[in-house]
């Protein structure tokens, strides 16, 4: 007798999940439902959601839907929504706005192609500034919180120009999914957004780096065109060796001007070089920040994010179906303002613990800094934020209420655990193998239903099967909570749609 698992979901590396289902009888259907949570990418007054469809991992995969393919996106926002749109499928989405705090976008196609990402974005009436808090707390249990900090008018624009070195990966792995072509388009958009006082250089690299100008060049119409022509002539080939390229970029640092190194790569480097790169980022010259941009879905997101934050920068990931000009303008908006450094946060009250990240990254204009944690004592708490902007200290203090009961946002609990897992994975990349860290990762994954590189999901038909194989169902209660919360939200959004539709009909004469 061959014993097989009815359902097994495994993560095989940082980007690939495999799902096996057994048995599937002849001419039968199997229904598979996958639920996941993620942090929405937010910038200033705009948020973007990407549903990644361009994810083919091997040749020969049929990318056409056999029946109906549909996506319905409900957007609920405390800040009024002014516009909901799709940069990828502008004419294919139907958008409705039941009220200023709720919008819906729907897409449906028969026998459609599944080889393009679906990108949906929405604007709000004003950027959210300051400190915001949402919580999740079950009766008799500790609470969880998500604290979001966003810098606004405190970070005014620089008056002087800045220096940029664009480091573009042209290794063989960049030829897949048109990544190199999209990198060229992205740099072109960045060059177009540069100011008249800015200077730049373009470096391509595979096994060795190749600077174009050999010096920082003023951003003129002529130099921009020369930079674009240089990139257009490059082809994807060779290996990926990042370290010499970054060392070369650091040599362009002018002691009187800040240097922004913008790296466009998929991060496909071997494990040995990853550790070297993390150390190299920490050794960047004073006044230098490294920003990593990943194009498409075939990128090592965890590594690029860790590399950027290690050098005082940030990482951005751009879908090939997004508006590159829009993304370039948003990115430059961050770079044109000073950065809040030495960010520290203290919370008086609430018996706060298990906060992640342990070390806070720098705070950029319009880019929210998210902090997850747990609290043991409901009631009032005082949050104090301290940082430095251009050598001057800034302090913000706000009072918040940590509730004794809050079942509206149970997803925060799993997101807290996911961020803790990411923290431990980053430590493994930097410090090497550690059995203690692996065990901690496994405990978090088992306790909060997270599929990872060290933990998998198994799905059996009923409770009797779990008992038969002596498998403990650790998260049955948590799953029920999440389902109940989603049902309440769905009902609330339906009520708002019904209220909006009730206003339609014959107009009343004045």
Confidence of residue 268 (pLDDT cuts 50, 70, 90): low
Greatest mean pLDDT among 11-20, 279-288, 384-393, 438-447: 438-447
**Where does the pLDDT of residue 438 fall: very low under 50, low under 70, confident under 90, or very high at 90 and above?**
very high
Which helix (H) or strand (E) segment is 330 a member of?
Answer: helix 324-335
Q: How far is CA 441 from CA 415, 429, 449, in A?
A: 14, 14, 12
What's the start-to-end Cα distance of the chain, in Å? 79
Q: Please tell me the predicted confidence (pLDDT) of residue 74.
A: 94
Euclidean distance between CA atoms 97 and 81, whole angstroms: 9
Task: Decide if 204 contacts 189 (C-beta within 8 A).
Answer: no
Indicate the pLDDT class of residue 155, thresholds 50, 70 and 90. Answer: low
Output the six-digit token pair for 61: 């995969």
Q: What is the pLDDT of residues 72-123, one digit of tens each?
A: 999 998 889 999 999 999 889 999 999 999 999 999 988 877 888 999 999 9
Calculate the dihedral angle through the C-alpha atoms of 105, 109, 115, 120, rounding to the nearest 10 degrees. Answer: -10
Nearest of 180, 229, 232 to residue 206 by alpha carbon? 180
0.85 exceeded by pTM: no
Q: Is the pLDDT of residue 53 over 80?
A: yes
pLDDT in tens, 180-199: 888 898 899 889 888 888 99
pLDDT reported for residue 52? 87
Q: Residue 78 gets which letter from DSSP?
A: S
Q: How far apart are CA 229 and CA 222, in angstroms?
A: 11
pLDDT score of 158: 59
| 159 CA to centre of own chain | 30
DSSP-derived 3-state class of residue 304: helix
pLDDT score recorded for residue 235? 92
């Amino acid at each position: 007798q061959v014993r097989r698992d009815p359902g097994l979901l495994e993560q095989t590396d940082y980007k690939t999940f495999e799902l096996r289902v057994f048995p599937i009888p002849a001419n039968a259907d199997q229904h598979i439902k996958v639920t996941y949570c993620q942090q929405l990418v937010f910038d200033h007054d705009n948020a973007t959601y990407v549903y990644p469809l361009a994810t083919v991992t091997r040749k020969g995969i049929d990318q056409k839907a056999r029946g109906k393919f549909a996506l319905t996106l409900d957007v609920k926002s405390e800040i009024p929504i002014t516009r909901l749109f799709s940069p990828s499928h502008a004419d294919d989405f139907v958008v409705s706005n039941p009220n200023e705090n709720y919008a819906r976008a729907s897409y449906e196609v028969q026998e459609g192609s599944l080889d393009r990402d679906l990108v949906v974005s929405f604007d709000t009436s004003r950027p959210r500034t300051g400190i915001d808090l949402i919580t999740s707390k079950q009766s008799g249990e500790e609470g969880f919180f998500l604290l979001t900090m966003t810098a606004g008018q405190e970070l005014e624009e620089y008056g002087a120009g800045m220096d940029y070195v664009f480091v573009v990966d042209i290794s063989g792995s960049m030829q897949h999914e048109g990544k190199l072509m999209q990198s060229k388009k992205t740099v072109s958009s960045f060059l177009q957004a540069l100011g008249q006082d800015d200077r730049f250089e373009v470096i391509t690299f595979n096994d060795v780096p190749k600077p174009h100008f050999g010096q920082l060049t003023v951003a003129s119409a002529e130099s921009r065109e020369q930079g674009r022509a240089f990139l257009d002539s490059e082809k994807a080939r060779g290996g990926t060796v990042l370290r010499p390229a970054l060392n070369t970029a650091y040599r362009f640092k002018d002691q009187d001007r800040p240097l922004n190194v913008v790296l466009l790569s998929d991060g496909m480097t071997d494990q040995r070089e990853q550790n070297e790169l993390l150390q190299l980022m920490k050794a960047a010259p004073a006044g230098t920040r490294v920003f990593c941009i990943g194009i498409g879905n075939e990128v090592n997101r965890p590594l690029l994010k860790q590399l950027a934050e290690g050098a005082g920068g940030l990482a951005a990931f751009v879908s090939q179906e997004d508006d590159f000009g829009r993304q370039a303008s948003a990115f430059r908006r961050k770079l044109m303002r000073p950065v809040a450094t030495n960010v520290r946060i203290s919370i008086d009250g609430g018996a706060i613990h298990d906060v992640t990240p342990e070390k806070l990254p720098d705070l950029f204009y319009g880019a929210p800094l998210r902090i997850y944690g747990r609290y043991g004592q409901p009631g009032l708490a005082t949050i104090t934020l301290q940082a430095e902007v251009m050598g001057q200290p800034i302090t913000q203090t706000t009072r918040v209420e940590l509730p004794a009961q809050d079942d509206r946002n149970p997803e925060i609990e799993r997101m807290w655990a996911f961020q803790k897992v990411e923290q431990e994975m980053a430590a493994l990349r930097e410090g090497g193998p550690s059995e203690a860290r692996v065990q901690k990762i496994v405990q978090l994954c088992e306790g909060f239903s997270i599929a990872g590189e060290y933990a998998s999901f198994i799905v059996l038909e009923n409770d009797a099967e779990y008992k038969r194989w002596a498998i403990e169902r650790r998260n049955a209660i948590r799953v029920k909570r999440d389902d109940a919360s989603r049902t309440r939200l769905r009902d609330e959004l339906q009520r708002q749609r019904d209220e909006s539709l009730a206003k339609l009909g014959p107009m009343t004469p004045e």
